[in-house]
Amino acid sequence: MKLLLNLVRKDFKRNKVITTALAVFLVLSALMMAGGLRVTGAMISSVKGLNEMAVSPEYIQMHKGAFDKEALDHFVEIHDYIKDSLTVKMLDVRNANFIYQGETLEKCLMDNGFVVQNNGFDFLLNMNNEIDVVQDGEIGVPVFYAQELGIKAGDVIIVHEGDYRKELKVSTIIRDSSMNSALASSKRFLISQSDMAEISSYMGEWEYCFEFLLKDGASTSVLAKDYMDAGMPSNGVGITGSILRLMNTFSYGLVAFIIIAISLLLIIISVLCLSYIIRATMSEEHAAIGAMKAIGFPEKTIEKLYQIKYSILLLAAAVIGYSAAIPFGDFFSSSVIRYCGSGSGEWMKWVFPFIGIILLSLIVLLECRRIIRRNLKSTVVELMREEEQIKKQGHYSLPSRGLKYRNLTIAIGELKCRWKEYVVIFLVFVFSSFLMLLPLNMKSTVENPSFITYMGVGQSDIRIDIQYTDNLTKQKDAVTSYLENDSEIEKAAIYKNGYVQSQNGLGEWEYIRVENGDESVFPLEYLEGSAPVGSKEMALSYLNASELGKKVGDSITVKYQGADLIFTVSGIYQDITYGGKTAKAAIDFDENDVEVYIVYLNVKDGVSIAKKTDELRTVLTVGKITPVNEFVAQTLSGIMDDMSLVEGTAIVIALLLIILITVMFLQLVTAKEHSAIAIKKVIGFSNRDIRIQFGIRILVIQFMGIVVGTIFANSLGGVIFGLMLSSMGASKITMLVDPLTAYLLCPAAQLLVVFITVIVGTKVVEKYHIRDQIME
């Protein structure tokens, strides 16, 4: 064993650069694997902990308007699978009524409301995950706003309406197991009972959440069906616990998912590199292997000699990777911990990465053993085959017109003959380019104005939501007439939104949101079919169509005000708003049933959207006015925050990867081609020429890698983004690339990094003494 370790130490000393590069690869793989799993562990523990402490409801039915409390109590009484129920009264308040640090919350897309602490379950918790209590004059602010606006304990929030003004001191930041996620469109502020009574007399509209806890084994869909059948109050959406969990997983799990995906790809690359290095080293050591065999070393011992080298490397990588994953994982799980707390299963963030590291080590070790065994078994044959391989490489021809660009011609010629050696580095370049571009492209896609088409509406500049008013129609008319007389507005259309009931594939009745308006003003691109025409057609969002099992041409029956309305499905479109479940049809909603009027408008050329938004906000105080790009950004803010977080990491990792692989590759390839380098020097190539030739070979491969990586990032990236958004309602995403970043800056940065690495990495060529090479 001592002899083996001595040999290994000598080998490490001899191949410092390659060993270091390989070690960094393995450390990175271990770090990403352990880091991703640490985030996963932290996330599961965190979300689970919050749900346990807050006792999350398993079914929530929203409702606006009056309701029969006795009937509801009776419903709960007669259904014994209901463990507990709760009616949460929420006072919906317009964002313009909130003032924080001199500014209203109008720029925020969220719907905000006041609640008092619940009894029984669905508790709002403080940052220690304890049931929160606020005194009169105090307010508990959702953690979302602490994060987005920087609101902290001790700050003051003012609510006002007309001459009424009330200051509330932020006493605590609250965690809300139902509406924590950035993907949940409502946020609850916690106030005291007496403040609630006071504020409600000046502003707001009551909304009720009927919340239920079920006994073990009971299904939420059974409850939803029974609830509908019993005609219980349901003027609003019904949300199951699984949707809430999905939203949470999506919000917090994305980072973990991306990190683990990166780690898996890194492992593949590491194994590829490892296999390349083992093959390269062993082919150079065939003589040594033969000698070892000759002096009586059993094959097992030789195998052990090689394996021990990589095992030591792997062990070191595993220890470093696991240790580094602690701060790394904590950084990426800081968001979920802020939103949900540390939770009750903290062991997971220690055990999961450990299991991951063990798995990674097993994969690498087994692969290592396989390659070593294969190489050992055929030492002599392999030597012969090597000759064959060189023969198979073939020749390149020198151009008959002479060598105008000698280095280019030689480099390309050699590349043509030895392309197989470049497969690994090519794959790494493809992967790193993909890794860099994917988050960038996702971001630019979301930031592109036409992304709104994935939100169920054609491209427009500004959106106005008119809701929470006693006099919705009057307000709507006021907005319409103002816009009609505004000469800076190019076009505008108003859409009436309400709910109807429809039967899903399981025969359960559920509410779907229907938009009624002129679909031709802001035409939308349909996945299939077209916009509804006339009063007998209905277009369905992608998620709705999937869940209802409808295709274009099918008929669909919906219930509105007790009557059955039959429509033909005219088209299917993508929409990630309102849980992805929307529809478009000419249903003439009763004014009392209108949930919201939404106005979309375009300003004329040369008119600033930001200025127009500010102007409209001053004039039309009843509506929530949002520039459409901001609407998109805020709706996807959760995803985009996470994407921004991984974007930086992805760029650093990608650049580090290409530096490492280039250094490692140059080291191997210059050693392998030492005799060719010597011959070139003899026949008159300068060191500079030879370095340029290496540079050209690597940069050509990298350029091809970048092209393929870019194509993948655009095509496969669209599929991945589609998968990510399909649970929200958009399945077919076309990446909207920012050409400057994607096609110029990103490739330029990668090429520059490799260019510099080649300059440094090929310096070794100067040290090759021709005499040494020739004499060998």
Partner 1 sequence: MIKVEQISKSFNNLEILNNVSFEIKRGDFVGVMGPSGSGKSTLLYSISQMDSVSGGRILFEGRNLSEMPEVELSEFRLTKMGFVFQNAQMLKNLSIFNNIILPGLIAKKETVHIIRERASKLMKRMEIEGLEERDVREVSGGQLQRASICRAMINNPEILFLDEPTGALNSAATDQVLAILEDLNHEGMTIMTVTHEPRVAAKAKKVLYIQDGQIAACKEFLTVTDHERELDKWLMELTH
The reply on whether position 11 binds partner 1 by CB under 8 A is: no
- CB of 686 vs partner 1, minimal distance in Å: 4
What does the DSSP 8-state code read for residue 734?
P
* CA separation, residue 401 to residues 405, 414, 692, 736 (Å): 11, 19, 22, 45
The reply on whether position 675 binds partner 1 by CB under 8 A is: yes
**CB hemisphere CA count around 121 (13 angstroms):** 21
Range 370-377 contact pairs with CB under 8 angstroms and sequence separation of 24 or more: 371/274, 371/275, 371/278, 371/279, 372/278, 372/282, 372/303, 372/306, 372/307, 373/303, 375/278, 375/279, 375/282, 375/283, 376/282, 376/289, 376/299, 376/302, 376/303
286 versus 369: smaller Cβ distance to partner 1? 286
- CB of 708 vs partner 1, minimal distance in Å: 25
**Candidate segments 175-183, 387-395, 438-446, 751-759, binder of partner 1 by CB under 8 A:** 387-395
Instruction: Give me the helices (H) in 230-347, please.
Output: 241-284, 286-294, 299-340
Q: Are 537 and 546 in contact (CB under 8 A)?
A: no
Site for partner 1 in 417-446 (CB under 8 A): 417-418
Q: Phi first, then psi: give them for residue 130, nearest 5 degrees.
A: -105, 150
Q: Are 536 and 471 in contact (CB under 8 A)?
A: no
Among 200, 203, 186, 212, smallest CA distance to 118 is for 212
Provide the phi-psi class of 394: left if phi over 0, else alpha when psi is between -120 and 50, else beta: left
**Candidate segments 216-224, 278-286, 385-393, 449-457, binder of partner 1 by CB under 8 A:** 385-393
- CB of 374 vs partner 1, minimal distance in Å: 25
- CB of 357 vs partner 1, minimal distance in Å: 43
- CB of 697 vs partner 1, minimal distance in Å: 12
- CB of 362 vs partner 1, minimal distance in Å: 40
- CB of 771 vs partner 1, minimal distance in Å: 5
Q: Locate 92 and state its tokens.
A: 């919906």
Q: Is 217 helix (H, G, I), strand (E, B) or coil?
A: coil
Per-residue binding string, partner 1, 391-410, x by CB under 8 A, is x-xxxxxx-xxxx--x----
The reply on whether position 679 binds partner 1 by CB under 8 A is: yes
**Candidate segments 158-166, 333-341, 462-470, 686-694, binder of partner 1 by CB under 8 A:** 686-694
390 versus 752: smaller Cβ distance to partner 1? 390
Q: Locate 628 and state its tokens.
A: 């459409």
DSSP notation for 81-128: TEEEEEEEEEEEE-GGGEEETTEESTT--SEEEEE---SSSS-EE-TT
Among 366, 566, 652, 774, binds partner 1 (CB under 8 A): 774
- CB of 425 vs partner 1, minimal distance in Å: 19
Q: Are 604 and 488 in contact (CB under 8 A)?
A: yes
**Candidate segments 216-224, 353-361, 641-649, 767-775, binder of partner 1 by CB under 8 A:** 767-775
The reply on whether position 624 binds partner 1 by CB under 8 A is: no
399 versus 505: smaller Cβ distance to partner 1? 399
Tell me how long the chain is: 776
Among 81, 99, 166, 413, binds partner 1 (CB under 8 A): 413
The reply on whether position 767 binds partner 1 by CB under 8 A is: no
2 versus 395: smaller Cβ distance to partner 1? 395
676 versus 711: smaller Cβ distance to partner 1? 676
Show the beta-strand stretches assigned E in 574-712: 582-585, 596-603, 624-627
Among 111, 122, 382, 414, binds partner 1 (CB under 8 A): 414
Number of chain residues interacting with partner 1 (CB under 8 A): 38
- CB of 687 vs partner 1, minimal distance in Å: 6
Residue recorded with tokens 């003003």: 521
- Distance, in Å, from the CA atom of 237 to the CA atom of 61, rounded to the nearest integer, reads 6
The reply on whether position 13 binds partner 1 by CB under 8 A is: no
Find the largest Cα–Cα distance for the chain.
101
Residue recorded with tokens 């911990």: 337
496 versus 691: smaller Cβ distance to partner 1? 691
**Candidate segments 45-53, 260-268, 594-602, 674-682, binder of partner 1 by CB under 8 A:** 674-682
Site for partner 1 in 688-727 (CB under 8 A): 688-689
355 versus 774: smaller Cβ distance to partner 1? 774
Q: Interface with partner 1 by CB under 8 A: which residues? A: 387, 390-391, 393-398, 400-403, 406, 413-414, 417-418, 675-676, 678-689, 766, 769-771, 774-775
